[in-house]
Structure 1
Amino acid sequence: MALTYAVLGSGAMGLRFGLLLKEHLGAQVDFIDTWEEQIDTVRKQGGVYQSRDGKNRHLIPISIQTPEEYQGKPDVFIIFDKQMHLSQLLERSKHFFHENQYVFTGMNGMGHIEKINRYFAPEKVLAGTCLIGTVLKDAGNVDFIGKAGAGSINLAAQSGTVDDVQKQIITEFEASNLNPNLTDNFLGTLYTKVVFNSVINTICTLFEIRMGQFIDYEGAEKLGRQLIDEAYNVAELAGITPLNSRDEEWETIRYVSAETSPLHYPSMYQDMNKGRQTEVDYINGYIYDLGRTYNYQAKTHDFLRHLVHLAENTRKFR
């Protein structure tokens, strides 16, 4: 019998996980969100519209609630929210948390694990990094990027030990075409995706381009490797072992950009395009700030962080 799930933060990635679990397993999946327009639109439509690469748009019935309305008791929470909003979401949701529940999170950036651990013990937490392109075009309208089964997850148990329930979560993710890969390197797993995003998300956002347009540029590798080298220098100082070598990390960026998600606009671009605050401080900013604690200046990351904030600041002049 499938586990029961609640998606906490029902944006692009939260919807993808929840809808795939419903489609492939028939799992009970509840959706929780704080964005009023999303909630109102889904309720008015009677569900969420799902397409794939902009085609075959169809309505999937779901119910969605605010944290204050929700009274369910799921086995597993799937948490996807923006880093700067997570603390408030968790605090609003704490009335339906209990000690036997599990968590999977695949959020971008770094800082979310510490927030989640205020409510859930480390042995209940699985965290991962998602190389899965998904776009929330507007409220109640999600687009899965890539063919069915495209993309993958690297995930690890925070405690270092995977229990029977966590094994079932991974099995159900696999059956739902989410392609999970279990590692035994929790911090390295998270950091590897931060490095990926520090290249792709930030550059594509600044130039308002898709991943395939970035990789088409003949100088893309030089740009990418400069950022990778700085990030890996920081990792060595901090005692973090990324999942990939520097060469493998570039190859992952190249492959995902060219082969699996060339039409994808990264999530940071989506935030910038819709006038929302970006997570650059939790990605490039995190790498720079971590390096500073070891007297290392990851200057390219800091430069790109400030360019993104400059772009955000120019909105007030439009």
Structure 2
Amino acid sequence: MRTNKYSATSGPLTRAAMLIDYSSLFKSVETRTGKTCYPDEVILEMIAELRRHLQRDFGCEVGHCRAYADFSQLGDHAAHIQRELVHNGIETRFVPTTIQSNAPESVLSFETGKLLGRHADQTTFVILTGQRVYHALANVLAQHARQVIVLPVGMDGEVSDRDVHPRVRYVSASLLLSDAIKKVSGTESIEGLDEGFESVLTGSDRSAVEHTVVTNPVCKRTLEIVQRYFGQYDEVYLTPLLRKLSEEFDEPESDPKTVINELEESGAVWLEKRRGFPYDYTVLIIDTEHPDVQTLRAAMPAEAEKPGVDIDIVESYRETEPAYGDGGTSSVEMDTD
């Protein structure tokens, strides 16, 4: 029997935005299914399955859900298609392609940027598309500490792993189709949807990590500083964090690098390498399953969640700093220069 990965005791649902390149998606589905199915009905099935999967297995609730297309180009049933999308809780964006053929892609990207700036609670962006891969948009979202899942039905060319941000995952949208439609469209069995989603939403495997009590007062204070100033982020850029710790610590013996290493040994945090431009960088991630972290979060809200704190403050550090350490270790013993 399948076991759900999320339950009511796992905490509040996280928020996701779903952006649908309906023009591209409709064309790709129509090509695959031919005259055996109505493409708009197939797409509604895919969207419903994607929503169920996000909420049931990962506690991720879809907030904004928008479909972009020149609906006048989708045949005689354009009005019916838009009506059914609205009835299913999907906002429609009519984008004429008479002047620019890829207008839906451009408007989708522009409005995604607006969502990113206005809705800090949406930590995951899901892009459902046909042939377009949205590589640049996905990487920009990931650089702003968002999880990104791109689900194309088919891709024009290939996206090299070397060029994809670690927080971006490409999963075939064909896996959202029912078995009957897969058989009709000739979709082959490929990488499972569970595996694709789990790798991007759950991050590193922490099942073997042992949690020990944080007894060092300086380490406890460090956790408080992280929660107060960076608490709304899933991960924290290490360089600005070390600078902040240096400002907060009065005692010369409280070396920030040593403190981070001690917290890592206790299982309260871990470090990961990220690819970036112009430099790679390192992030610190809080283990929310650690007992001391849970106690702290229950006792004090993140100050960074209050109005007036912008992610650009943190971004500005990374734009001017080289990589912190190298990719072969998670230790913070190396020089930051």
Q: Same fold (TM over 0.5)?
A: no
Does 1 or 2 have the higher relative contact order (CA < 8 Å, sep 6+)?
Answer: 1
TM-score (norm 1): 0.31
For the pair shown, the structure with the greater C-alpha radius of gyration is 2
TM-score (norm 2): 0.29
